[in-house]
Amino acid sequence: MLQRKLGLAQATAINMIDMVGIGPFITLPMVISSMQGPYFLYAWLLGAALSIVDAMVWSELGAAFPEAGGSYNFLKAAYGPDKGGRLMSFLFVWQTMIQAPLVIASAAIGFAAYLAYLLPMEKYEAKAVSGAVVILIVVLLYRKIESIGKLSVFLWIGVIFTLLWIVVGGVWHGNFLAPIQHINDGLTVNYAFAALLGNACVKCVYSYLGYYNVCHLGGEITEPSKNIPRSMFLSIAGISVLYLAMNISVTSVIPWDVAQNTEHVISLFMYQLAGKTAAIVVTVLILWVAFASVFSATLGYSRIPYAAALDGGFFKVFARLHPTKQFPHISLLVLGGIAFVFSLLFKLKDVISAILAMRILVQFIGQAVGLLLLHKKQPKDFFPYKMPLFPVPVILAILMWAALFIYTDSKMIIAGLVVIATGVLVYFVKAYINKEWPLNKD
């Protein structure tokens, strides 16, 4: 049985290192390029707003269902454990077996991309590095949860130090406020701006994802009704400020029209500030952050197939715990194996779009709608955490996720829909064999 050993500090650290990862360092030039102007900061503000609104949904659900598996439990309860909840929770686990390895692979690919600043590599050498990162992460996670909590805090310190160094470097340069002063230069609010903002926000949201990682570890969090919501809001508040400050800092040194075309923008930023040695050191720290992100993401996702299998909603083999270390080792090994393959096959831009396309409909929109259904079925005191102005944040979250889905790459939207459709087919085959809803005789 999983043990509650992770406190507020450890839960927040796990969230934050999952959120940061390689994301903001590789998406910074992508976001600027998508916005095509100095007003790219609006995309980061919108990403923060979406995260805060969506975290209210996660907080109500996470505090009410503090168990391993996160959205699996939320969807099952919301749509009926003996009815539609069976299908929705199965679809979530089904798409998790694809998108979770994509998340892990994206961080590993980003790690290899930044390592190329220090060690120029050919294509296949970079793939070997990303694959090796995934393998090392699985090895490190092959241990008890309390030691993982301590390691998470250690990795978190490196994450925060890196971001603060970048921010302080820009402040020290003396031109820190310039990007804010020119944020509206050339800005015209119209449909074209909205389209640019939507495309840029896809990259920003990728960098914010992870604030809910604590929900996947719900069965291992102490005082979950308090610590799950608190860890999410603390994570989003801290990371939002750091992301905005980092973007302002970098573009106060490197003009936005130069930064948008620079693959190793942080390394170049530090090179201009303090020379080659500083650029090397900050690149090493970014690699630390990327590695920490793979660690956190793999930890959280490995609990989802385990929770579903333990509940009878997924293949039984995933319910096995390590006989002495008491963690879901089969789930960890399978997700790690798929992530290893993905890290060898895909490009980073494709992975970012695919991650969002596969998650928005079933997970983000699905559980927001599910929360509305739960409020109709359950008394008010059922939810330990109560969001302000309910149901306004839920409706806002649904509308914002739907808009983001529209602006995701069309090929990845199709791929995401194919994964969902295949999952529905597999579920009905499973339901027919096991005589489950809606093919049972009851």
> Does residue 57 fall inside a structural domain?
yes
Residue 328 located in a structural domain: yes
Long-range contacts of 121-128 (CB under 8 A, 24+ apart): 127/343, 127/344
Q: Is residue 274 situated within a structural domain?
A: yes
How far is 155 from 437, CA to CA, in rounded Å?
44
Count how many domains the chain has: 1
Let me know if residue 273 belongs to a domain. yes
pLDDT tens, position by position, 100-113: 898 888 888 989 98
| Residue 71: CATH number of its domain | 1.20.1740.10
Within 10 angstroms of residue 119's Cβ, the number of other Cβ atoms is 10
Query: Residue holding tokens 């490009």?
Result: 347
Query: Which residues constitute the domain of residue 201?
Result: 8-434
97 φ, ψ (degrees, to nearest 5):
-65, -15
Q: Is residue 306 in a domain? A: yes
What confidence tens digit (pLDDT) does each residue in 132-171 have?
999 998 888 877 666 666 777 787 888 888 889 999 988 8
pTM of the complete model: 0.86
Neighbouring C-alpha atoms within 13 Å toward the C-beta of 332: 24
- Kindly state whether residue 440 falls inside one of the protein's structural domains: no
Does residue 356 lie in a domain region? yes
Tens place of pLDDT per residue across the chain (442 aa):
678 888 999 999 888 887 887 788 889 999 999 998 899 999 999 999 999 999 999 999 999 999 888 899 999 999 999 889 999 999 999 998 998 898 888 888 989 988 999 999 998 999 999 999 999 988 888 776 666 667 777 878 888 888 899 999 888 887 888 999 999 998 899 988 998 999 899 999 989 998 998 998 888 899 999 999 999 999 999 999 999 999 999 999 999 999 999 889 999 999 999 899 999 999 998 888 888 777 877 887 888 888 888 888 888 889 988 888 778 899 999 999 999 999 998 887 778 888 888 889 999 999 999 999 999 999 988 999 999 999 999 999 999 999 999 988 888 889 889 999 999 999 999 888 888 888 875 5
In a domain? residue 159: yes
